[in-house]
Structure 1
Amino acid sequence: VRYAPHLPLVLKGLTCTFRGGSKTGIVGRTGSGKSTLVQTLFRIIDPSCGQIVIDGIDISTVGLHDLRSRLSIIPQEPTMFEGTIRTNLDPLEEHTDEEIWE
């Protein structure tokens, strides 16, 4: 994986096996490539060479919606929401409390 054609490879020579139905944690030091690996699994960035296979299926052959609906991320930051739940449900304050509860 590289972020631009003129930049060096960020991940190279990486081989992982992910079995279908399994839960996998990706951990490591700062700068070790965790976020880059997750971005490639979700096809946010594409590998420069090679392929990513999950449960025997090359993910480049799967539609983005189908792929992403079958994977989950727990982000590095522990915060799910900033502010109140109401602010997150209606950040522009366009709805009454009653409308939100519906």
Structure 2
Amino acid sequence: VRYAPHLPLVLKGFTCTFHGGAKTGIVGRTGSGKSTLVQALFRIIDPSYGRIVIDGIDISTIGLHDLRSRLSIIPQEPTMFQGTVRTNLDPLEEYADEQIWE
């Protein structure tokens, strides 16, 4: 990943495997590339070379809406939005109450 054509590469030679249905935590020191990796996973920025594959699928072949609707970020500092706790847990109303309680 490169933030501008004249800037050096960041996350050089990074290799990681993400398996479908798994929850993966990204941790590291300040400036280690955590936010850059998340931006690349959500295709906010594109790799300068190589590709990102999740569960065998190259994410560049997936529409942005489909990709982003299947990924989630749990920030270090949680934020509660307006509304009920249930609305905060399932803002798109995709799950039954029983599924949320599980």
Q: Does 1:48 align with 2:48?
A: yes
Pairing of 1:18-97 with structure 2 (within 5 A):
18-76=18-76, 78-81=77-80, 85=82
TM (norm. structure 1) is: 0.77
- Residue 79 and residue 20 in structure 1: after superposition, are their counterparts in 2 closer, same or farther (change >3 A)? closer
* RMSD, aligned α-carbons: 1.4
In structure 1, what is the equivalent of residue 13 of structure 2?
Answer: 13
Distance in 1 (CA, whole Å) between partners of 2:15 and 2:80 is 34
Equivalent pairs, count: 83
- Note the residue ranges of structure 2 that are not aligned, 5 or more in a row: 84-102
Which portions of structure 1, spanning 4 or more consecutive aligned residues, are displaced by more than 2 angstroms?
none
Distance in 2 (CA, whole Å) between partners of 1:9 and 1:67 is 24
Cα deviation, 1:3-35, whole Å, max 9, x if unaligned, reads: 000000111100000000000000000000000
Q: Larger Cα Rg: Structure 1 or Structure 2?
A: 1
- Note the residue ranges of structure 1 that are not aligned, 5 or more in a row: 87-102
